[in-house]
Amino acid sequence: MPEIRTEYHIEITDDGASPIDLLASASGLSKQKVKQAMQKGAVWLTDNKGTHRLRRQSKKLSPGTSLHFYYDLSVLEEVVDDAILIADEGDYSVWHKPRGMFSQGSKWSDHCTINRWVEQHLIPQRQSFVIHRLDRFASGLILIAHKKKVATTLANLFRNKKITKQYKAIIQGSFPGETVTFTNEIDNKPAVSHVSLLGYDEATNTSLVQVNIETGRKHQIRLHLSGAGFPIVGDRQYGQHDDMQDLQLTAFKLEFISPVDGKAKEYILPDDLQLHI
């Protein structure tokens, strides 16, 4: 049986070889466990088209190709809450990504990613391309394209700051009443966040704030707020260690001109999915 995290790389020499048989033999896992791992995105095939995930269990392999199995039991056993469809626009859709769901997969798996969830649950089924990332531990609106051309166009809108994304966060402390702009660099790159007070709860000494960002650096909002002495509630990396709280950060609004029909679009989370104090 494999260790907790193990890689297997197999060069194919026999025409018509079965990936299930080869991986079960190499790993010592049952064929059923190999099939489950394959469906969760842990198996890759390198052929004349490059290296890509292999999910088709009946695939007959050819000499000169290679099989890759990235086995991590803890990753494969991860579960996440369901994503919620906010709007299906045909060539793209807008979803509520729950806390814990990834924006993209890794070589070890993609079963807990938003694009895989969408591909498996959106009806009719369509290819899914993630346009922008949302912190794993944050929740909120995320945009998914269903055609490569639309994905490229939407990604360019993000790159050119033509898509407005707004957040809400619950933070520790009493935040000032006026809008505060943070410009602290992140990883030696410019980062700009505008934070406005929406409400204050004296009993818990927490504030509800709205955040508009001009840049999209990794953990930008979390770093800017924690650096100013207002860590986001539930932020175990940059704030207080409280295992009872999830990260209180939500992307609640998206605005842009649709490249599909040229109309102004505004998507807002339903009230029951937003943050309140």
Q: d(Cα 274, Cα 80) in Å, to the nearest integer?
A: 19
What local confidence, expressed as pLDDT, does residue 93 receive?
A: 98
Task: Please determine, for residue 2, whether its predicted confidence score (pLDDT) is greater than 90.
Answer: no
Q: pLDDT tens digit string along 215-266?
A: 989 999 999 999 999 999 999 999 876 667 899 999 999 999 999 999 999 9
Q: pLDDT tens digit string along 37-92?
A: 999 999 999 999 999 999 999 999 999 999 999 999 999 999 999 999 999 999 99
Average per-residue pLDDT for the chain? 95
140, 210 Cβ separation under 8 angstroms = no
CA distance to 11, 25, 58, 75, 267, per residue, from 43 (Å):
14, 15, 13, 13, 36
What local confidence, expressed as pLDDT, does residue 25 receive?
A: 96
3 state SS of 113: strand
- Residue 47 dihedral angles phi and psi, to the nearest 5°: -140, -160
Q: pLDDT tens digit string along 117-146?
A: 999 999 999 999 999 999 999 999 999 999
What local confidence, expressed as pLDDT, does residue 233 receive?
A: 96
What local confidence, expressed as pLDDT, does residue 268 receive?
A: 98
Which of these, 102, 104, 41, lies nearest to 72 by C-alpha position? 41
What local confidence, expressed as pLDDT, does residue 245 receive?
A: 86
Tell me the mean pLDDT in the region 178-200: 96
CA distance to 20, 29, 71, 82, 131, per residue, from 25 (Å):
8, 7, 14, 34, 39
What local confidence, expressed as pLDDT, does residue 240 receive?
A: 74
Task: Please determine, for residue 205, whether its predicted confidence score (pLDDT) is greater than 90.
Answer: yes
Report the first-to-last Cα separation within the chain, whole angstroms.
Answer: 49
Q: d(Cα 194, Cα 276) in Å, to the nearest integer?
A: 19
Q: d(Cα 144, Cα 123) in Å, to the nearest integer?
A: 14
* Domains with residue ranges and CATH for the chain: 5-76 (3.10.290.10), 84-162 (3.30.2350.10), 165-251 (3.30.2350.10)
Would you say how long the chain is, in residues? 277
Which of these, 98, 75, 88, 257, lies nearest to 162 by C-alpha position? 257
Angle between helices 19-27 and 31-39 (to 10 degrees): 110
CA distance to 130, 131, 159, 161, per residue, from 257 (Å):
18, 15, 14, 12
Tell me the mean pLDDT in the region 193-204: 97
Q: Provide the whole-model pTM.
A: 0.91
Helix (H), strand (E) at residue 152:
helix 148-159
Report percent pLDDT > 90 for the chain.
Answer: 94
Helix (H), strand (E) at residue 47:
strand 43-47
What local confidence, expressed as pLDDT, does residue 242 receive?
A: 64
Residue with tokens 């190999």: 34
- Going by their DSSP bridges, the two strands 193-201 and 206-213 should be labelled as antiparallel
